Amino acid sequence: MLIDFVGLGSMGLGMAVSLVKAGHTVRGFDPAEARVEMLVAQGGSPFGEAAQKADAVVSAVLNADQTRTVLFGEQAVAERLRPGGVIISCATVSPAFAAEMEAQAEDAGLLYLDAPISGGAIKAAAGQLSIMASGRAAAFDVAGPALEAMAETVHRLGDHAGPGSAMKSVNQLLAGVHIAAMGEALAFGASQGLTPQQVADVVSVSAGTSWMFENRAPHVVEGDYTPRSKVDIWLKDLGIVAEIAAAADLPVPVSSNALAQFRGASEAGLGDEDDAAIAKYFARAGGVTLPGDS
C-alpha cells in the first residue's frame, strides 16, 4: 500500500517504521523535521507533492482539534487519498467526534476507521499495538494490510465510528487511575521510610501491581521524568472520560479524582514532565522527597 502517515511522535514513528518493514511505501509528515528524517533513515520518505494518491492515511496526532486540522483543515491530508481510500484515525477523541469525522470522510467519497491505539512506544516499534477499531466493513477491508503491520491485536468493535473511541476511553480511565495510584503508593511508601526501589520490587510481584505500575514506577526509582507521556495528556484523556460520563449521566468518582490530581500536578508546574511525576506531586504535599526531586 501507499500510505501517508501524519504524526511521527513516540508512537507514530514506530508505527510508520513498522509499515515500512512490512513492505508498504510510507510518506511521513511531522512538524518536527527531525522526526521525518528518522523515518527516511528507516526507508520512508517525506510527504512532498502527492503526485500519486495514497491508499490510506494514518493520523497519529494528539487530539480532536489536530485531527480535524490535519484531515480536513489547513493541511487537508484527506485530499491526498484516492477515491475509496481509508483514513485510519488513531488519536484519543470522543465517540461523537469520531462519528463526525466518519460522516465528513464519507461525504468526500472516503472510508474512515475509528482506530485508537494502546501499547506504548516499544510495542509501536515492534508492530505489536492493540488497536480498538470501529467502522464500515469496507474500511476494515481496505485498511487490513496496514492494521496487520502495526498491531498484534485488532479489536473490531462496531460497524460505524464511535465504539472504538468509547473503548479507548474505558482503557484510559483505567490507565489514568493506575498511574495516579502508582504515584500515591510510592509517595506513601516513602513517607513510611521505604525506598521507591523497595516498593517497586515488592509490588511488582504482588497482588497490588498493574501494567502501569510496572512501567512507570521505574521512572520514579531512577528520578527520570523525561516525558514519554506527559502529565498534561491526562487532563485531555480523563477529561474526555468525564465528558462522556456526564452525557450518559454516569458518576465516575474514581477517575474524576484522578483527573483532579493530574490537574493539580499540572498547575504545580509538572505538566510537561513524564506522567510518573504525579508521584512527586503527592510526595511534595506530604513533605517527602523522591529521587529526581529537590
**Residues 194 and 136 occupy one common structural domain:** no
**Residues 143 and 183 occupy one common structural domain:** no
Q: Is residue 291 part of a domain?
A: no
**Residues 7 and 151 occupy one common structural domain:** yes
**Residues 136 and 11 occupy one common structural domain:** yes
**Residues 146 and 225 occupy one common structural domain:** no
What CATH code is carried by the domain that includes residue 225?
A: 1.10.1040.10
At which of 159, 187, 214 does a domain end? 159
Q: Are 131 and 115 in contact (CB under 8 A)?
A: yes
Q: Is residue 143 part of a domain?
A: yes
From the candidates 21, 123, 168, 230, give the one annotated as an active-site residue.
Answer: 168
CA distance 8 to 60: 7
**Residues 126 and 192 occupy one common structural domain:** no
Q: Is residue 293 part of a domain?
A: no
| DSSP assignment of the chain | -EEEEE--STTHHHHHHHHHHTT-EEEEE-SSHHHHHHHHHTT-EE----SS-EEEEEE--SSHHHHHHHHHSSS-GGGGEEEEEEEEE-S---HHHHHHHHHHHHHTT-EEEE--EESHHHHHHTT-EEEEEEE-HHHHHHHHHHHHHHEEEEEE--SSSSHHHHHHHHHHHHHHHHHHHHHHHHHHHHHTT--HHHHHHHHTTSTT--HHHHHHHHHHHHT----SSBHHHHHHHHHHHHHHHHHTT---HHHHHHHHHHHHHIIIIITTSBGGGHHHHHHHHTT---TT--
**Residues 252 and 206 occupy one common structural domain:** yes
Structure confidence at residue 226 (pLDDT): 95
Structure confidence at residue 245 (pLDDT): 97
What CATH code is carried by the domain that includes residue 69?
A: 3.40.50.720
**Residues 147 and 228 occupy one common structural domain:** no
Catalytic, 168? Answer yes
Note down pLDDT in tens along the chain; length 294 residues: 999 999 999 899 999 999 999 999 999 999 999 999 999 999 999 998 888 999 999 999 999 999 999 999 999 999 999 999 999 999 999 999 999 999 999 999 999 999 999 998 899 999 999 999 999 999 999 999 999 999 999 999 999 999 999 999 999 999 999 999 999 999 999 999 999 999 999 999 999 999 999 999 999 999 999 999 999 999 999 999 999 999 999 999 999 999 999 999 999 999 999 999 999 999 999 999 999 997
Structure confidence at residue 51 (pLDDT): 85
Number of structural domains (the chain) is 2
**Residues 75 and 218 occupy one common structural domain:** no
**Residues 201 and 122 occupy one common structural domain:** no
Q: Is residue 139 part of a domain?
A: yes
**Residues 145 and 192 occupy one common structural domain:** no
Domain of residue 178 covers: 165-285
Q: Is residue 292 part of a domain?
A: no
**Residues 66 and 209 occupy one common structural domain:** no
At which of 159, 175, 203 does a domain end? 159
Q: Is residue 290 part of a domain?
A: no
At which of 130, 159, 188 does a domain end? 159
Q: Is residue 190 part of a domain?
A: yes
Q: Is residue 177 part of a domain?
A: yes
